[in-house]
Amino acid sequence: MNMNSSDEMKKGIQTGTTTVGLVGEDGVVFAADKRATMGYLIASKDIDKIHLIDDHIAITIAGSVGDAQMLIRWLRVEMMKYRHENEKSISVEAAATLLANILSSNKYFPFWIQIIMGGYDIRPRIFSIDMVGGVTEESKTSTGSGSPVAFGVIDTQYKKGMKVSELIPIAAKSVMAAMGRDAATGEFIDIVTITKDGSRKLQKDEIEKLIKI
């Protein structure tokens, strides 16, 4: 996200970023780079942009780090509250609707974020959510300043019905392509998968092998 110096002072560290979400036949795949910027300064080379908010739901963040961190805390509390009151986990769609309502209620002073939320309940699903609460269900999506480059890879390689194991290399390649062209995207890649068996974060050596493919 490109901002002038006044905006940077108000909003602090930004994840200019590239995040990716893909839906497969057996689960979802998230990928994101590790760089955070403050104007032209690389403020962090090791920031997490993929966060679990429940056992079966994760979000990716692009935008203001402070806003995103606050929303993550808020959502985790709401997920625990829902589980306690209903004795079951919230659905992915209901969680996306909850977040959309939170964002929509703050239109006057919006959260400077763009989020991909997804997971697995009775089937894998992903939703793209903008800063004022707009929600769209997607089978493939990307956010952040590097997303146009990432989409170039995703659109040529993604097909509906692919397995998570087939989508992981596509997610890695799309973020790598963005790292090569977008100054706000960089350092390394995180990849998280969610299937009916739960979530898994790929290890560094697994991702290094993918990058070399």
Residue 63 confidence (pLDDT) above 90: no
- Do the Cβ atoms of 139 and 160 come closer than 8 Å? yes
Query: What integer pLDDT is reported at residue 181 of this predicted model?
Result: 75
Angstrom distance (rounded) from CA 169 to CA 173: 6
| pLDDT value of position 123 | 95
Q: What is the pLDDT of residue 2?
A: 38
Tokens 């990307």 found at:
142
**pLDDT > 90 in the chain, percent:** 56
Report whether pLDDT(34) > 90.
Answer: no
- Give catalytic residue positions: 17
Among candidate residues 119, 141, 123, 125, the one with its CA nearest the CA of residue 193: 119
- Determine if residue 87 is left, alpha or beta; phi over 0 gives left, psi from -120 to 50 gives alpha, anything else beta: left
Segment 181-208, tens digit of pLDDT: 766 677 789 999 999 999 999 998 888 8
Q: Using CB atoms within 10 A of its CB, is residue 170 exposed (0-12), middle (13-18) or buried (19+)?
A: buried
Beta strands in 13-158 (DSSP E): 14-15, 19-23, 27-33, 36-38, 41-44, 50-54, 57-64, 113-120, 124-129, 135-138, 140-143
Burial of 153 (0-12, 13-18, 19+ CB in 10 A): buried
Q: Report the pLDDT value the prediction gives residue 8, as an integer from 0 to 100.
A: 42
Could you read off the pLDDT of 111-136 as tens digits, one per residue? 888 899 999 999 999 999 988 889 99
The string of pLDDT tens digits covering residues 9-18 is 344 545 568 8
**pLDDT at residue 165 greater than cutoff 80:** yes
Whether the per-residue pLDDT at 107 is higher than 90: the answer is: no
Tell me which H or E stretch contains 80: helix 65-86
- Identify the architecture of domain 5-212 in CATH: 4-Layer Sandwich (3.60)
* Domain ranges across the chain: 5-212
Identity at 54, one-letter amino acid code: D
On the question of pLDDT at 42 being above 80, the answer is no
Average pLDDT over residues 130-145: 91
Phi, psi at 48, each rounded to 5° = -85, 125
For residues 74-92, average pLDDT: 93
Residue 185: what pLDDT?
A: 73
